Structure 1
Amino acid sequence: MENMSFEQLVKERFNELSPGQKKVAEYLVQQPEEAVFSKAAQIGRKVEVSETTVIRLSYALGFSGFTDMQEKIQRQLFVSNHQSPIVSDINSSVHFELSDKEISPYAEVIENEILYFRQMIEQLKTEEMDKVIDRLIHADQILIAGFGASYAAAYWFSYTLGMLRENVTVCHQTGEFYQKICNLTEKSAVVVLSFPRYSKDALHVAECAKKLGIPLISVTDRMLSPVGRISDITLTTNVESDSIATIFSFLFLIIEGINHKDKARIQKRQQKLEQLYSSYEVFIE
């Protein structure tokens, strides 16, 4: 338990919690800064449950009591709040450049994106990212699913991943998903992209993969999103729903990780692809 983050601990035991405990757990995961300075009774009032429910959650998660659980969250916040010098320099330079002039709507959007990237650096879980990269390298087949606004990112991810390895498919309709999942095995992987507003189709796909015993990876905005809470590996990028640039950048990190770890095999595949492109004049040179 000591090596797990609080979010991972909640995710692992979420289905065992009572409805009231689940409400408290979601609040603690989403609002850790407020939670660490509040008493159990205050948290209970905010979530509209009893103080006893808050305390019982700590026992259900394996802590010796509420104080022990709160200290776990405090330690995690202390580590995550130590920004790297690079991030601090970026923030300082952006605000310096924009402080003496009126900020245009376009500049404001860019500044917000930089803040999202800062959050990504702070919250990036390297171990979980490495697990996903290894799974995607060694899987015999990969099926990527995204619905609604998430489909654009799912399509780009499948196309780019398909340049690096074989047997990568994408779907954006549950009907075609059931046809494609029939070909998968326990050595395969299903990747579901799910961001607010959450699609029921994404949850149906995730539930189907779990039922069939196919490893499920989700890329979502929070650990306890409908898809995130049931995934074998959950990668989170806590962004606003309209920040598509940050989502693409997060997926690009996975692509770069695969490029780095599986370089020799990727080079052979890309040489073959280039020969085909040249032979059939696919691109305008």
Structure 2
Amino acid sequence: MAHDGAEQWLLELAQAHRLSPAQRQIVQRMLGMFPDVAFLSTIEIAERTGVSQPTVTRLATALGFAGFPEFRAALRDAVLAGIPNQRGHHRQDAGLAAIDQERANLESLKRVVAGDPMDRAVRLLAGPGPLGVVGLRASAALACYFGYFARRVLPAVSVCTDAGGIDDAVLQLSQQGAGALLAFAMPRYPAGTVAAVRLARTLGLATVVIADTALVPFAVDADVLLVAPVGTGLVFDSHAAVVTLAISLLDAIAKTDPHRTQQRLEAHEALVDRWVHHD
């Protein structure tokens, strides 16, 4: 259909900007309203998508337009021009587009994993003291995932995902002789995470931060900043590249002491029969 290219245009436009989950949901609903959506008012779009009129207006500015009239004009141009689908088939499902974006995100990790910042991060995190890992809100699952596997190869790993106790956790790490703190900081960046990183540096800990862009406003607070883009094509961010970077980092840390790593993995393997299910 002629408006397939316009749908693709809107989808790619949304992926190119940082939208809130609510704004992404509006875009997804708009994708099912072509071609009529290009000729509707803010009130009509708001009614059909179940949001307020100001929310629709804010979406237009979030997409880089001066206001809704400019956004609607661009939308109409896309519909009327019948922009061809660059991939040669009907409108992509949002999930398929998200997979394409994650492939690109993973490809970008090659430079990160092979770069000097990765080497510095490994040296800092592989030190002899306890390793602290923090992640709040959306980053909590990432911190827990890293910590779960890190405990199998490192002698002392402390994970904090509680904003209320994060200052105490960082202070305790310092008192226990930790040399570094690893922080996951995905959008929207929790103030508690930034405060914890700054406190860690004040206490003499090195800080390694994994974030979605090198342009985070707290980049100066990280001794090493590792960038793993997030997928933004769905209602909520997807973290395929972040997880891959995190496990690549842990793999490199484990290889700094192969003998210790092998011993600890064998000790863990001896316990597997205690918890794994057998038919």
TM-score of the two chains, using structure 1 as the length reference: 0.59
Residue 194 of structure 2 aligns with an amino acid whose one-letter code is L
1:171 to 137, 140, 160: 160
Equivalence for 1:218: 209
Which one of the candidate residues 145, 152, 169 is aligned to 1:180?
A: 169
Q: Is the 8 A contact 1:202 1:227 kept in 2?
A: no
Q: Letter of the aligned partner of 1:166 in structure 2?
A: P
Q: Does 1:231 align with 2:231?
A: no
The alignment-based identity, stated in percent, is 22
Is this contact kept in 1: 2:207–2:222, CA < 8 A? yes
2:94 is aligned to 105
CA contact (8 A) 1:222 1:228 kept: no
Work out which of the residue numbers 174, 184, 191 in structure 1 matches 2:182. Answer: 191
Q: Which residue of 1 aligns with 2:251?
A: 256
Matches within 5 A, 1:11-160: 99-102=87-90, 103-124=92-113, 126-160=115-149
Q: What residue identity is the alignment partner of 1:167? A: A
Q: 1:30-52 CA distances to partner (integer Å, 9 max, x unpaired)?
A: xxxxxxxxxxxxxxxxxxxxxxx
SS in 2 for 1:213: coil
- 8 Å contact 2:184–2:211 — kept in the other structure? yes
Secondary structure of the 1:184 match is: helix
Q: Is 1:206 matched up with 2:206? A: no
Q: Distance in 1 between matches of 2:265 and 2:271?
A: 10
Report the residue type matching 1:243 in the other structure: S
Higher helix share: 1
* Greater Rg by CA: 2
Question: Where in structure 1 are there 5+ consecutive unaligned residues?
Answer: 1-97
Alignment gaps of 5+ in structure 2: 1-85
Distance 1:104 1:211, change over 3 A: same
The question of whether the paired residues in 2 share the 8 Å contact of 1:145 and 1:202 is answered with: yes
**CA drift at 1:202:** 0.6
- Matches of 2:122 and 2:113 in 1, distance apart? 14
Match of 1:40 in 2: none
**2:228 corresponds to 1:266:** no
Question: How many Å separate the matches in 2 of 1:146 and 1:118?
Answer: 24
Deviations 1:213-261 (A, max 9, x none): 1111111123342332211111122334513111111112112212333
Secondary structure of the 2:140 match is: helix
SS state at 2:149 partner: helix
2:241 to 234, 237, 246: 246
- Cα 1:194–1:273 shift into 2, 3 Å: same
- RMSD of aligned Cα (Å): 2.2
The Cα offsets for residues 133-153 of structure 1, whole Å up to 9 and x where unpaired, read as: 122222411111111111111
Alpha carbons of structure 1 residues 122 and 128: separation in structure 2 relative to 1, 3 Å: closer
Query: What letter matches 2:123 in structure 1?
Result: D
Distance 2:167 2:94 in 1: 43
TM-superposed CA distance for 1:199, in Å, is: 0.7
Distance between the aligned counterparts of 2:157 and 2:214, measured in 1?
Answer: 25
Q: Tell me by how many angstroms 1:125 deviates.
A: 5.3
Indicate conservation of the 8 Å contact 2:143/2:159, yes or no: yes
| Native 8 Å contact 1:220 1:234 kept in 2 | yes
Shift of 1:179: 2.7
> Does structure 2 retain, via aligned residues, the 8 Å contact 1:145–1:170?
yes
Contact 2:101 2:231 in 1 (8 A): no
